[in-house]
Amino acid sequence: MKSPFSIALLVAAASSAVPLASSLPVATRDLLDAYDYIIIGGGPGGMVTANRLSEDSSKTVLLIEAGPLHKYEKEIMIPRWQILGALDLSYQWGTLTTPQQELALNRPVILNQGKLLGGGASLNFMVWGRGTPTEYDTWEELGNPGWGWKGLLPYFKKSEHFTPPRQSQVDEFRITYDPECHGTGGPIQNGYSHYNYPQNRNFQDAMASLGFSHTAEPMCNSLGYHMSLHSIDDKNQSRSDPRTAYYDPIFGEKGTPRPNIHVLVEHLVTKILTETVNGVVRATGVEYAASAKSPVQRVLVNREVIVSGGSLQTPKLLQLSGIGQKSVLDKLGIKTVVDLPGVGANLHDHAAAPSLGVVKPGVPSLVDITLNPKLDKEQGDLYYASREGRWTESGDSLAFLPWYNITTLSRKEADAVIATTTVEESLKYLAPDTHPDVREGYKAIVERVHRGHVAGTIAAEETIWFMGGVEMLSTLMNPLSRGTVRPVSRDPWVPAAVDPRYLSHPADLDFIVEGVRLIRRLIKTDPMKEIGHTEVLPGPLVLDVGDALKAYVRTSLLTAWHPTGTSAMLPRRLGGVVDPELKVYGTSNLRVVDASIMPQHPSAHTMSTTYAIAEKAADIIKAAAAAASP
């Protein structure tokens, strides 16, 4: 794959900015004084929105991204090396949570987020999925017309170009799909890796032997087990991300230049500028800088500012700009522009407990190719020659499972766990200083989550079969623990305090523990015995006696890197931050477009949903502009 180095890009100082009438990579003119739209953050929220808004050649667009452009490194683009890309700190924010009181030794958790154009969608494991229709319909029930399943499905489809599996994959892994659930004309390529570990079939057979159902079409209902789709280009078997799908078609060497869009990388937006007229706040522009020691610069906006910094950076910037809970801002000496208690609240994340294992010699896995340089080189040569072989492998098997399907507890014990998810019980586990509005929103969410668990229409846990069985994860779905993102200084270069309060709700721990038990049950099935799967972690010394598995989860818990909810799309009286038009309450022209607007997690990895949010947001913004035109 040839890297398109001929890129129209604004890189460092304003003195070398690209003129709006050109897409040349180097120019000497400064940025414009003002743009119609300023977008903060170049992940799947921001880059999608920038691309779509710049389709209107009469509107000028500036996107500012804190991180750099990636260089199409193999660790980012090639599935074989994606685990190294996910660990590359040069493209990450380096986020560490506050000490977590419910974890062993009050340890913090590494909660890194992508800091590059493409965001987490350029570093993740490319899992492409959607939640259940019930979960998106819940968003609509919470006061967001048009954000239910029927309202979102067209935008899921708009963002994607689905390539069906090969017939051999259909036969071997029982892949079924419904064309009505997929898009085929969108920018993000998705489908199946050309190589899949054959023991994915063993995982599926093991799931079937325990009575679980195969997912007929995971893009229209995720519940059950299935081979995962990935955001992978079928032709070249490499990552499809905001860079390749939304940026390069404009700025790449084969792109079609648009003279009305600029992208400025490696600059942090430090503040949103505002003015208040007749009690309504209007964003007038932003301040930004290349580093803490660089001069702060300013650019103005004619129409709207759109914040797409992600679930951790967006609430931090809003609060530093005076939009947040007044009592929080007062402590930092920040003047309150809009008293909005939901900003930085409602933080929840998919937490997980790992189970590591090995398979018998002769069964392919990440281990054998890693320990055999000759095999690795042969597979690399095959990849570069034909885009086939094991370097294309990114295929996981996933299972999204309701509570009563996974638990082996007695009915009385299982019911007792679900009883803790009622509104009355769940309120006991909120932080004591939770604002009353946020508390009311939590009640509305919990009521629907509880109802979903009872009905079995949402997942409590996701089981991930990864790397050919080297790693399996018990991953919490629909978490009820809630935390916060709070700035600790007026200095924008100081990281915020990120406190997910993992496992503060006891049901979250119960769900993960039952997932660990399920993995152990899977390992004991005949299909797993065929490949000699042996548990290494938790290991034979961790018996399922008393609270031993709970202790293991508290010790091993990690994040699935899916924080959401910190700029929740909810009514303001329920602690909401944005309305159904994604406009920040109390403002006339400030919106949020990223994963932080999700009021509650879907039973899915968040990437696909974030793309859909951005596609829908772009249409909302375009419609608003059209309505305002004379």
d(CA 601, CA 253): 38
What pLDDT is attached to residue 185?
Answer: 97
Taking each helix axis from N to C terminus, what angle separates 46-53 and 607-628, rounded to the nearest 10 degrees?
30
Interval 438-467: pLDDT, tens: 999 999 999 999 999 999 999 999 999 999
pLDDT tier for residue 24 given thresholds of 50, 70 and 90: very low
Interval 88-104: pLDDT, tens: 889 999 999 999 999 99
Tell me the three state secondary structure of residue 541.
coil
pLDDT at 435 over 50: yes
pLDDT tier for residue 401 given thresholds of 50, 70 and 90: very high
pLDDT tier for residue 86 given thresholds of 50, 70 and 90: confident
Average confidence (pLDDT) over 119-145: 97
Interval 506-535: pLDDT, tens: 999 999 999 999 999 999 999 999 999 999
pLDDT tier for residue 629 given thresholds of 50, 70 and 90: confident
Interval 112-128: pLDDT, tens: 999 999 999 999 999 99
568 and 342 Cβ atoms separated by less than 8 Å: yes
597 and 578 Cβ atoms separated by less than 8 Å: yes
Q: Which residues contact 623 (CB under 8 A, 6 or more apart)?
A: none
Tokens of 604: 């899915």
Q: In the annotation, is 533 catalytic? A: no
Interval 189-222: pLDDT, tens: 999 999 999 999 999 999 999 999 999 999 999 9
pLDDT tier for residue 25 given thresholds of 50, 70 and 90: very low
SS (H, E, C) 591-625: EECCHHHCCCCCCCCCHHHHHHHHHHHHHHHHHHH
What pLDDT is attached to residue 87?
Answer: 80
Higher pLDDT, 84 or 154: 154
Average confidence (pLDDT) over 550-565: 98
pLDDT at 21 over 50: no
Interval 344-379: pLDDT, tens: 999 999 999 999 999 999 999 999 999 999 999 999
Q: Name the active-site residue from 70, 161, 348, 562.
A: 562
Interval 608-623: pLDDT, tens: 999 999 999 999 999 9
Annotated binding site for FAD: 124-127, 269, 561-562
pLDDT at 1 over 50: no
Average pLDDT, the chain: 94
Give the dihedral sign, CA 599/605/606/608: negative
Evaluate if pTM is beyond 0.85.
yes
pLDDT tier for residue 36 given thresholds of 50, 70 and 90: very high
What pLDDT is attached to residue 514?
Answer: 98
Q: In the annotation, is 450 catalytic? A: no
pLDDT tier for residue 72 given thresholds of 50, 70 and 90: very high
